[in-house]
């Protein structure tokens, strides 16, 4: 009997092979989002990083980490993470919104630095 053609993209097939379990990281992400709501950004950051480490194929974890870093005024690092999330899901509206917030903060901080020098 001939093999059935797999309609998933190559990236999706590789992801499924490499990911130990599809649910990894979601508990850490949920905990970190709660910690962010409580204002515990440093602890939340460590949990988001753990979620990304456990499941690098989930762009939402990178998105949430970027948002946390932005809340900590670490926008350069946040920019790197939101860029990675957008590489995985280029049309994600929430990631694009967060990218806009980070870009605005970076422009504002660059403007303040120029004013301080001048």
Report the pLDDT averaged over residues 83-109.
97
pLDDT tens per residue, range 70-80:
999 999 999 99
Q: Whole-model pTM?
A: 0.80
27, part of any domain = yes
109, part of any domain = yes
2, part of any domain = no
- Measure the CA dihedral 22/24/25/26, to 10°: 60
CATH number of the domain encompassing residue 108: 1.25.40.10
Lowest mean pLDDT segment, chosen from 10-19, 87-96, 107-116: 10-19
CA pair distance 48, 37, nearest whole angstrom: 14
Whether the pLDDT of residue 12 is over 70: the answer is yes
Sign of CA dihedral 103, 109, 113, 114: positive
Confidence at 23, pLDDT banded by 50, 70, 90 = confident
CA pair distance 93, 111, nearest whole angstrom: 27
Confidence at 17, pLDDT banded by 50, 70, 90 = confident
């Amino acid at each position: 009997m001939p093999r059935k053609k797999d309609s998933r993209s190559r990236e999706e097939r590789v992801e499924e092979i490499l990911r130990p379990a599809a649910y990894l990281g979601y508990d850490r992400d949920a905990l970190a989002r709660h910690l962010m709501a409580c204002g515990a950004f440093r602890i939340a950051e460590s949990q988001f990083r753990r979620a990304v480490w456990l499941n690098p194929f989930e762009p939402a974890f990178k998105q949430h980490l970027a948002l946390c870093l932005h809340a900590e005024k670490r926008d350069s690092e946040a920019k790197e993470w939101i860029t990675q999330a957008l590489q995985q899901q280029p049309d994600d509206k929430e990631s694009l919104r967060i990218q806009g917030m980070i870009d605005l903060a970076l422009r504002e901080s660059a403007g303040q630095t120029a004013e301080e020098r001048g």
